[in-house]
Amino acid sequence: MSTGRVLLIECADRKGLIHAVTGVLLRHALNIVANDEFVDSESGRFFMRTEAEGSADTERILEELRSLLPEGAVLRFSPATKRSVVVLVSREYHCLGDLLLRHAHGDLNATIEAVVGNHAVLEPLAGRFGIPFHWISHEGKSRERHEAEILDVLRPYQPEFLVLAKYMRVLSPEFTARFPSRIVNIHHSFLPAFVGRTPYGQAAERGVKIIGATAHFVTDVLDDGPIIAQSVIPVDHTYAADDLSQAGRDVERSVLAKALKLVFEDRVFLCGKRTVILS
Amino acid sequence: MSTGRVLLIECADRKGLIHAVTGVLLRHALNIVANDEFVDSESGRFFMRTEAEGSADTERILEELRSLLPEGAVLRFSPATKRSVVVLVSREYHCLGDLLLRHAHGDLNATIEAVVGNHAVLEPLAGRFGIPFHWISHEGKSRERHEAEILDVLRPYQPEFLVLAKYMRVLSPEFTARFPSRIVNIHHSFLPAFVGRTPYGQAAERGVKIIGATAHFVTDVLDDGPIIAQSVIPVDHTYAADDLSQAGRDVERSVLAKALKLVFEDRVFLCGKRTVILS
Amino acid sequence: MSTGRVLLIECADRKGLIHAVTGVLLRHALNIVANDEFVDSESGRFFMRTEAEGSADTERILEELRSLLPEGAVLRFSPATKRSVVVLVSREYHCLGDLLLRHAHGDLNATIEAVVGNHAVLEPLAGRFGIPFHWISHEGKSRERHEAEILDVLRPYQPEFLVLAKYMRVLSPEFTARFPSRIVNIHHSFLPAFVGRTPYGQAAERGVKIIGATAHFVTDVLDDGPIIAQSVIPVDHTYAADDLSQAGRDVERSVLAKALKLVFEDRVFLCGKRTVILS
Amino acid sequence: MSTGRVLLIECADRKGLIHAVTGVLLRHALNIVANDEFVDSESGRFFMRTEAEGSADTERILEELRSLLPEGAVLRFSPATKRSVVVLVSREYHCLGDLLLRHAHGDLNATIEAVVGNHAVLEPLAGRFGIPFHWISHEGKSRERHEAEILDVLRPYQPEFLVLAKYMRVLSPEFTARFPSRIVNIHHSFLPAFVGRTPYGQAAERGVKIIGATAHFVTDVLDDGPIIAQSVIPVDHTYAADDLSQAGRDVERSVLAKALKLVFEDRVFLCGKRTVILS
């Protein structure tokens, strides 16, 4: 095991799990640098994330752990290489720009392979950073056809994650099923308030005093996937829908960046419809 | 006019309104200490709040203004006396306790005449502060009957405002219609997320990363009245519904206190389903 | 050991500590409900807090742990009884009122034995809640003399903690030395900005756009003790020093309450001049 | 006057100022879209910012206003053209990258003429956006000599504003005097806490639970200029100085962007050591 690898465990809870896991690591002369665990009392599931230092045989560690943990335990070491990512966009530049900036300076902890847009407007932005841009217009196409074209473009990249950086089209259940818990979306509202395409318009009409953004995994129900991160800013009666939209951009991109950092550092576990985020 | 009175104007917008209003105040030798105005572009309504110092004939000022402003203008000076308030509660102490504390130390800008509870549990708390408590149990009564009993108790106090400080029963449209824009409720979620009676349960189930509270005027649609103030706090996967409920209390009472301060200082105008809050 | 007791460990870091500790708990058939640990890389100190359920012989557990942990380890179970507290105040009611409210409704996790004020003005507030109030005026007395009188009053209560709830006098090093890490103060600024008696005046003069409050342990250097909790609110140019002071009250009391919750739940460790707060 | 120009007035306060100003605008058939004013009670200064729509002779309006306002009044219309800006940087990319992104997409309300760095590392980033980059190394040069070289580079651009986007060298009073209230700096702490070069190191040592960033005008006293905007984020004991630095980046760039938006929209007045920010 290379220095700084992360061990992730999820299984049914029972007494002695921490002792058992730390015992295996100790026998392999690994030093625990950080450790966090959580038991979801409702489902009785145990989650554990351990950063350890030292050099060891990860396969053998996993094997030993498997023999000690309850049947059905899910366990793995986080990969030693950066995650490969394709970003989907529409017209808005701020989230994509932020990701490209971080990526170019080594702060994303992932490799952006390409950008796919249903509009062409962000092609120059991707170009500034030397990232391939694929324009797959949706106009005059069925959703099925449009998504098939996107899948064709994605195929050579074999991306581990898709990031929807203000991609404004709804993906079909067939599409999302291909990337289970591997599509991260930024929704421009404080979910579950204002589901759908025009949250800022709805927020202006409702007269809310705070707006927000939500980064979540995409499931087959619109804006209903497990929430990874949320943030908000105060607004007031002087904000029309356009002002809310502009004010919301800073929140959107910082929430998306925060969520991706958690995901790419392997801190996010799924627990039913919720996420468990271990530090 | 006594020193520090506040003039409130609402009318159709047109050129020259600020000039006209400030001209009248100037002729009456009043000095403007603070001034805020807003035009809602959608409805074309003009809102203005002016704090002025000096001594003058308020009736005559209003008369002169009425002759200069568009027909249908609503204008008034805020009352020189404190607002009279009755607080409705159920079982939770934190919002009522906060209001009683502020009231006892002259920080509420209103007079709490009495507390009405559908449970008796907060009677001792009201008693600590020497405020009359009326227990009107709802058990075994129709909503109609229960509300009739509450109205009987309220009658001698003639309260200008009702404050629902975690009053956990839904009021009928007939009841709320008697206090138009004069009932302020604290709802324990970041509206419009999680309408209804169990927002913390819904929040736990949905796995949100932020919870909030909303103070709003009560209308005949549940949790749908114009929002006065909102605030939020971060939470995480370790919070069960009970933890969310406990964590939310601090937000609830500070949002309610903030909203009441705005209302009692006559800073809140209604503009359709929204509030305009002038500083 | 009664259900829900908390084990606290602090010692020099070395490999295998978590495994050793969890092994002892396992042998005593205790179930770990929550667990958090931290290694301060600068000092090489290991901190661990464990909530366990089950019934066991705490003395024997501590003995076994002591034999396994590095020499000089500090370890204890948190006490089964509530902490005894005396609150020191001057003139401002909001922090004391908040503590008395929580205390009266079982939300403080401590017992307020008495309130001591260098002014008499808060005596009626303590009286509302049936808590003894001792007025020890400082006027015409040396600090030494004044503090000696306070110590006389404190003696019969034998308080484990002193809470300075806007107590506006500086305590001498001789006094604070009697309560090492057992005095919690709320300072009305975002430390280390604006040390001393008039932080809101300093904040107004400096024109800051955010103000805050800091709860910290008291040491013999003014406003320099380890920070437990901080919070802030936005302000603007319209706030004079008095407005800042009023706006700051809500922050002060919620930060103090938050810090005391952490302290009374035995979540706060000292690590040099800093605190380590385990969840 | 073109549609949407902004009138800015600062003068000694006296009765009737708003009436006088709005009268002039009315006579010139201008419609007030937004209006904000403030009287600093300490200095007795009146500040007013008015957005008006319509077409009129701005010179004549200023002349008429000058004849009505107290002697010494400072008044102007904000320029019809975008402000010209040069950005100074050292090694960190996040603030510069953010400004370049906004600039490239028309969201900065200013024109970035060039970037000047005392290190060369950000030259490629400026290059991505087609903005000239000038590397003026400070190595082996006196501060006087280094600043003379910077001034030489700036001369042809005649920038109205300098933005210090994590420029890590202290500017001399002689240099800053050339750009009075025209240099905006982002300081990586919640001023006045942690003045100087290593705020995150100081913050880690002090064990604060919140860190922040401050955008301010540069004066000849280090980190002491009038504050334009501040923001904060929560941190805890697990953050070493490096972690604080990384966590602080998002705050730094969003605070800098917010401050520049206020400055470039002509919303920021100076009032002694403070700013007055009119909406």
B28 — phi, psi (to 5°)?
-95, 15
Does the pLDDT value for residue B3 go beyond 80? no
Q: What is the pLDDT of residue A4?
A: 66
Task: Please indicate, yes or no, whether residues D193 and D111 belong to a single structural domain of this protein.
Answer: yes
Residues A5 and A58: beta-carbon distance below 8 Å: yes
Chain A residues near residue C23 by CB distance under 8 angstroms: 19, 23
Average predicted confidence (pLDDT) for chain D: 93
Chain B contact set for C93 (CB, 8 A): 101, 105
- Span C90-107, pLDDT tens digits: 999 999 999 999 999 999
Distance of CA C84 to the CA centre of its chain: 12
Looking at the fold, whether B32 and B101 belong to one and the same domain comes out as no
Regarding whether A63 and A115 lie in a shared domain, the answer is no
- Is the peptide bond between D173 and the residue preceding it cis, with omega within 30 degrees of 0? no
Instruction: Kindly write down the DSSP assignment for every residue of B185-245, as one continuous string.
Output: EEESSSTTSS-SS-HHHHHHHHT-SEEEEEEEE--SSTT-SPEEEEEEEE--TT--HHHHH
Domain count, chain A: 2
Query: Which carries the bigger pLDDT value, residue C199 or residue D130?
Result: D130
Among residues A24, A42, A77, the one where a domain terminates is A77
- Residue D257 in this model has a pLDDT that exceeds 60: yes
**Does C238 sit within 8 Å of B257, measured CB to CB?**
no
Over 60: is that where the pLDDT of A160 sits? yes
CATH code, C21: 3.30.70.260
Residues D155 and D262 occupy one common structural domain: yes
Catalytic residues of B: 223
Domain residue limits at D37:
5-77
B126 shares its domain with B171: yes
Q: Do D101 and A98 touch (CB under 8 A)?
A: yes
Mean pLDDT of chain B: 93
Identify the pLDDT of residue D4: 66
With a cut of 90, say whether residue B257 has pLDDT above it: yes
Where does a domain end: A43, A77, A111?
A77
Q: How many residues does chain A have?
A: 279
Task: Give the nearest chain B residue to A237 (CA atoms).
Answer: B276
Of the pLDDT bands very low, low, confident and very high (cuts 50, 70, 90), residue D55 is confident
pLDDT tens digits for range A171-199: 999 999 999 999 999 999 888 888 888 88
Residues D34 and D137 reside in one and the same domain: no
Q: What is the spatial distance between Cα B277 and Cα B262, in angstroms, rounded to a whole number? A: 8
Question: Do B60 and B189 belong together in one domain?
Answer: no
Chains that touch C (3 or more CB pairs under 8 A): A, B, D
> Which residue in the list A40, A98, A223, A250 is annotated as catalytic?
A223
CB D189 within 8 A of CB D214: yes
Q: How many CB atoms lie within 10 A of CB C162?
A: 24
Whether C118 contacts C90, CB under 8 Å: yes
Nearest Cα to A95, choosing from A175, A200, A185? A185
**Chain D residue whose CA is closest to B233:** D234
Do C20 and C62 fall into the same domain?
yes
What is the ipTM metric for this complex? 0.93
B239-254: pLDDT as tens digits:
999 999 999 999 999 9
Which residues of chain D are within 8 Å of residue B234 when distances are taken between CB atoms? 234
* Pick from C85, C73, C90, C62: nearest CA to C1: C62
Specify whether D41 is located in the same domain as D89: no
Residue C78, pLDDT > 60, answer yes
Both tokens of residue A53? 């230092």
Q: Which residue of B has its CA nearest to C130?
A: B128
Does D42 have pLDDT greater than 70? yes
- Biggest CA–CA distance in chain C, Å, is 63
Cβ–Cβ gap A206/B274 under 8 Å: yes
- Rounded average pLDDT over D209-230: 92
CB atoms within 10 A of CB A78: 17
Phi–psi pair at D87, nearest 5 degrees: -105, 130
The pLDDT value given to residue B56: 80
Q: Which of A89, A91, A93, A267 should be substituted to probe chain D, the one whose Cβ sees the most D Cβ atoms within 10 Å?
A: A93
Question: Would you mind telling me the total number of residues written for chain C in this entry?
Answer: 279
pLDDT value for C2: 43
List Cβ neighbours of A204 (8 Å cut-off, separation of 6 or more): A239, A240, A241, A244
Given this model, what pLDDT does residue C4 score? 66
Q: pLDDT digits over D135-181, tens only?
A: 999 999 999 999 999 999 999 999 999 999 999 999 999 999 999 99
Query: Is the CB of C206 less than 8 angstroms away from the CB of D193?
Result: no
CB neighbourhood size of A36 (10 A): 18
Contact criterion met (CB < 8 Å) for C94 and B104: no
- Same domain membership, residue C108 and residue C134: yes
Taking the CA atoms of residue A174, residue A175, residue A179 and residue A185 in that order, the dihedral angle to the nearest 10 degrees is -120
DSSP codes, chain A:
--TTEEEEEEEE--TTHHHHHHHHHHHTTPEEEEEEEEEETTTTEEEEEEEEES---HHHHHHHHHHHSPTT-EEEEPPSSPEEEEEEE-S--HHHHHHHHHHHTT-SSEEEEEEEESSSTTHHHHHHTT--EEE---TT--HHHHHHHHHHHHGGG--SEEEESS--SPPPHHHHHTSTT-EEEEESSSTTSS-SS-HHHHHHHHT-SEEEEEEEE--SSTT-SPEEEEEEEE--TT--HHHHHHHHHHHHHHHHHHHHHHHHTT-EEEETTEEEE--
The residue behind tokens 């028309």 is D106
Instruction: Establish if C101 touches chain A: CB-CB under 8 angstroms.
Output: no
Residue C132's CATH number: 3.40.50.170
Of D250 and C191, which is predicted with more confidence?
D250
Q: Does C23 contact chain A (CB < 8 Å)?
A: yes
Q: Any residues with CB less than 8 A from the CB of C269 and at least 6 apart, and which?
A: C8, C10, C47, C49, C275, C276, C277, C278
The residue among B219, B223, B220, B202 whose CA lies nearest residue B211 is: B202
The Cα–Cα gap between C279 and C202 comes to 35
Contact yes or no for B146/B138 (Cβ under 8 A): yes
Neighbours of chain A (3+ CB pairs under 8 A): B, C, D
Rounded CA gap, B278 and C190, in Å? Answer: 29
pLDDT of residue B66: 96
Task: Give the whole-angstrom CA distance, residue A174 versus residue A146.
Answer: 13
Do A136 and A206 lie in a common domain?
Answer: yes
CA angle D239, D240, D244 (to 5 degrees): 65
Pick from D192, D237, D277: CB nearest C276: D237
**In the predicted structure, residue D2 carries a pLDDT above the cut 50:** no
D99 and D59 part of one domain: no
Tokens of B206: 């949905």
Spatial distance between the Cα atoms of A185 and A167, rounded to a whole number of angstroms? 8
CA distance D16 to B18: 12
Report field, pTM of the whole predicted structure over 0.90: yes
Q: 3-state DSSP call for residue D77?
A: strand
Minimum distance, in Å, between the CA of residue A169 and any CA atom of chain C: 37
Per CB-CB distance under 8 Å, the chain B contacts of C98 are 98, 101
Candidates D13, D57, D107, D223; catalytic one: D223
| Structure tokens that stand for C236 in this block | 């603007």
- Asked which of A51, A77, A103 is the last residue of a domain, the reply is A77
Cα A228 to chain centroid distance, Å, stands at 7
Q: Among the listed ranges B4-8, C19-23, C255-259, which one has the minimum average pLDDT value?
A: B4-8
Instruction: Label residue B173 by pLDDT band (50, 70, 90).
Output: very high
Active site residue C223: yes
